[in-house]
Amino acid sequence: MAEFKLHCFSQSGNAYKAALMLALCGADWEPVQVDFFAGEGRRPDWRETVNEMGEAPVLEHKGRNFSQSGVILTYLSRLFGQFAPANEDEDLEVLRWMLFDNHKFTSYFATYRFFYSLSPQPGDPAVLAFLKGRADGAYAIVDKRLTERPFLIGDRATIADISLAGYVFYPQDEHGYDFAASHPGIHAWMQRLRALPGWTGPYELMPGDKFTASR
Amino acid sequence: MAEFKLHCFSQSGNAYKAALMLALCGADWEPVQVDFFAGEGRRPDWRETVNEMGEAPVLEHKGRNFSQSGVILTYLSRLFGQFAPANEDEDLEVLRWMLFDNHKFTSYFATYRFFYSLSPQPGDPAVLAFLKGRADGAYAIVDKRLTERPFLIGDRATIADISLAGYVFYPQDEHGYDFAASHPGIHAWMQRLRALPGWTGPYELMPGDKFTASR
């Protein structure tokens, strides 16, 4: 039995953050597929036993369940001593970018992508426009930041980078963004992340087929 | 000159999280009003000198600027030794709820409130319905949690509670929620927070008039 179990599914960039961290740390882990689109995260028994927040990813380790990708990243960075902040100032700066990620960078982009290509019904145009406007605002801030330094808090990758990398590696047909053209800072940073030993893409790392649009 | 300066405005519940923490800790602080609705957070010079993320609150202390309410709460809890997690397990649990707050609890409710009553033009009905659906999902999870224990991680208030309390104290006419009727767990928790020594409401704590609808 593997040391870590990760409740995840391949289409979830939030789950990918945790899976990528496990891969980059060389952890002994195995995935447990969550049938999220069939509503598993909304089932009362799942909420009772796995995560009351109804969300993936959930990391199981030594009989404990950890949820929220930022918690899992923080826990693993302390355990493995990798991608961790080096001091108190860096700790707050990493937290700052993880919070921005959860509030604005990942959240609007992920929800936009869902309505753009994954949801059974096409999203309402006004909702899509709202989400894209918010995602664009957050992506512009991060793109500027990443033209000024190689990684979010400086010269080396930390869990802040792994957090913000959750959704950027999904194929363009799922979200419509061509980062090389629109966000050169983010595009160059993606190449630096891809070069890290152990980097693997979301559909190779987690169970579940690559999404193919049914509409 | 006060020891702490907080860039804030009364309508921002994210700023209120920081202001409430300063008040509860008895800190020597003064507000610096941000004219957010006039676009101050979007001005290039403001982003350059105050916060590249374009957001309030920003805490100034000893020549340094801290942004993201969760960072400010963490920094102040360490400095004052108040509302802080007591050990590593609590640290991760506090972080878990602060991340959920930023991703889902505060973020959808705050944006819903903005389009419901604050934005110059009424929000698109589809966008309002989307945001309310997401906010309701997050509020139900927190309401259930708070019927089972007095505060988010147990028997005492921590920065997780102060984070999730950002928007709940704004008047009902700004968001339309009557928590006493719809969310009794949250309503009871609000009374416990109000009873903390130093508790003050957002419009009493920060500069800027209470919003009155111009439409």
The pLDDT of residue B212 is: 52
CATH number of B88-194: 1.20.1050.10
Shortest CB distance from B74 goes to which of A75, A95, A103?
A95
Rounded Cα gap, residues B168 and A174, in angstroms: 36
* Beta strand spans in chain A (E): 4-8, 29-33, 58-61, 64-67
Q: Which of A12-21, B36-45, B80-89, B165-174 has the lowest mean pLDDT?
A: B36-45
pLDDT tens, position by position, A82-109 = 999 999 999 999 999 999 999 999 999 9
* Residue of A92, A101, A116, A153 for testing the chain B interface, max B β-carbons within 10 Å: A92
Rounded Cα gap, residues A109 and B204, in angstroms: 36
The pLDDT of residue B215 is: 44
Residues of A in Cβ contact (< 8 Å) with B110:
none
Q: What amino acid is encoded at A30 in this protein?
A: E
A68/B99 touch (CB, cutoff 8 Å), yes or no: yes
Q: Which residues, given as ranges, of chain A have pLDDT below 50?
A: 213-215
The domains of chain B are located at 4-82+200-205, 88-194
Q: How many CB atoms lie within 10 A of CB A208?
A: 19
pLDDT bracket for residue B37 (50, 70, 90): confident
Q: CA of B199: how far to CAs of B14, B145, B173, in Å?
A: 16, 22, 22
What's the pTM? 0.96
* Matching fold, domains B4-82+200-205 and B88-194: no
Rounded Cα gap, residues A94 and A88, in angstroms: 10
Check whether B102 has a pLDDT greater than 70: yes
CATH number of A4-81+200-205: 3.40.30.10
Tokens of B184: 């009794």
The pLDDT of residue B213 is: 46
Residue the block writes with tokens 């089932």: A43
pLDDT bracket for residue B210 (50, 70, 90): low
Shortest CB distance from B141 goes to which of A54, A70, A141?
A54
pLDDT tens, position by position, A35-67 = 888 889 999 999 999 999 999 999 999 999 999
Q: What amino acid is encoded at B126 in this protein?
A: A
Distance from chain centroid for Cα A195? 18
Q: Which of A61, A9, A69, A12 is nearest to A34 (CA)?
A: A9
Rounded Cα gap, residues A203 and A29, in angstroms: 16
The pLDDT of residue A215 is: 45
The pLDDT of residue B47 is: 93
B53/A141 touch (CB, cutoff 8 Å), yes or no: yes
A204 min Cα distance to partner chain B (Å): 27
- CATH architecture of structural domain B4-82+200-205: 3-Layer(aba) Sandwich (3.40)
